């Protein structure tokens, strides 16, 4: 699967050129020409790394990175800016600050470094209350049982368990079904219901839905299972 890059760049010509160069290097690139559009796209689709300009209309790069960091502490974020303001940029939560003009070779090299680092940090198994979820084998186990989850069910659980924060309904729909129509929404509710039943023997585990926000997996302490 190709790594997916969110490119937030308000310079239309530069954004178009960089997008083509990245796609030739076997990335999938999602291009946004302002910070607010980039935020909406981030919420709606899976992204592996973000390239963010600083000076953008509607929402600047600093504001965009702050919002992303509120819901995802781990995704690599690289500023790509003509402003010589590395300290301020890195203090907002970004992982690197690349000053333009810069060669495509250097941009590509830094992307590869952070994607490699991200892969090395990715967990394979997650403890969820009294259960253990293996994302490679897509198995969910407890002390007495082990089950291999259907693919869509497992992919939804991966999204929930990796964040342990609210994941927007739109992001799940676009990632799993590639659309947000009524049929996909209905299917998502069915899969969420099935996941809740998977965890019914551990009352500490809750998959809650917040209206107009999304789903969140929580494991409460102080409650007997």
Q: pLDDT tens for residues 12-61?
A: 999 999 999 999 999 999 999 999 999 999 988 889 999 999 999 999 99
pLDDT band for position 105 (cuts 50, 70, 90)? very high
pLDDT band for position 120 (cuts 50, 70, 90)? low
Q: What is the mean pLDDT of the chain?
A: 91
Does residue 49 contact residue 5 with C-beta atoms inside 8 Å?
yes
Does residue 69 contact residue 61 with C-beta atoms inside 8 Å?
no
- Sequence-distant (≥ 6) Cβ neighbours of residue 201 within 8 angstroms: 130, 142, 225
CATH fold of 125-219 reads Arc Repressor Mutant, subunit A (1.10.10)
Secondary structure E strands in the chain: 4-8, 28-32, 49-52, 77-81, 96-99, 125-128, 131-134, 139-141, 146-148, 167-168, 205-210, 214-219
Whether residue 223 is predicted with pLDDT greater than 80 in this model: the reply is: no
CA of residue 82 relative to chain centroid, distance: 26
What is the rounded distance in angstroms from the CA atom of residue 69 to the CA atom of residue 1?
Answer: 25
Domain residue extents for the chain = 4-121, 125-219
Q: Looking at 43-52, 80-89, 183-192, which range is the least confident one?
A: 80-89
Give the global pTM: 0.67
CATH match of 4-121 with 3.40.50.2300 = yes
Task: Note if the bond before 101 is cis, omega within 30 degrees.
Answer: yes
**pLDDT, position 222:** 66
**pLDDT, position 124:** 84
Whether residue 168 is predicted with pLDDT greater than 80 in this model: the reply is: yes
Domains 4-121 and 125-219 share a fold: no
């Amino acid at each position: 699967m190709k790594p997916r890059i969110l490119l937030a760049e308000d310079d239309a010509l530069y954004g178009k050129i960089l997008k083509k160069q990245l796609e030739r290097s076997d990335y999938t690139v999602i291009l946004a020409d302002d910070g607010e559009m980039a935020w909406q796209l981030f919420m709606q689709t899976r992204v592996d790394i973000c390239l963010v300009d600083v000076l953008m209309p509607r929402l600047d790069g600093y504001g965009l990175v702050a919002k992303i960091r509120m819901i995802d502490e781990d995704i690599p974020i690289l500023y790509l800016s003509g402003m010589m303001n590395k300290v301020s940029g890195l203090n907002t939560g970004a992982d690197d600050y690349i000053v333009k003009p810069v060669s495509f070779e250097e941009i590509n090299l830094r992307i590869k470094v952070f994607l490699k680092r991200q892969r090395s940090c990715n967990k394979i198994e997650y403890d969820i209350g009294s259960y253990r979820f293996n994302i490679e084998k897509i198995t969910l186990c407890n002390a007495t049982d082990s089950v291999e989850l259907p693919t869509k069910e497992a992919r939804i659980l991966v999204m929930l368990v990796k964040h342990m924060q609210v994941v927007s309904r739109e992001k799940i729909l676009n990632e799993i079904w590639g659309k947000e129509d009524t049929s996909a929404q209905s299917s998502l509710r069915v899969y969420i219901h099935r996941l809740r039943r998977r965890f019914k023997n551990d009352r500490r585990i809750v998959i809650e839905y917040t209206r107009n926000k999304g789903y969140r997996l929580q494991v409460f302490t102080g409650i007997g299972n």
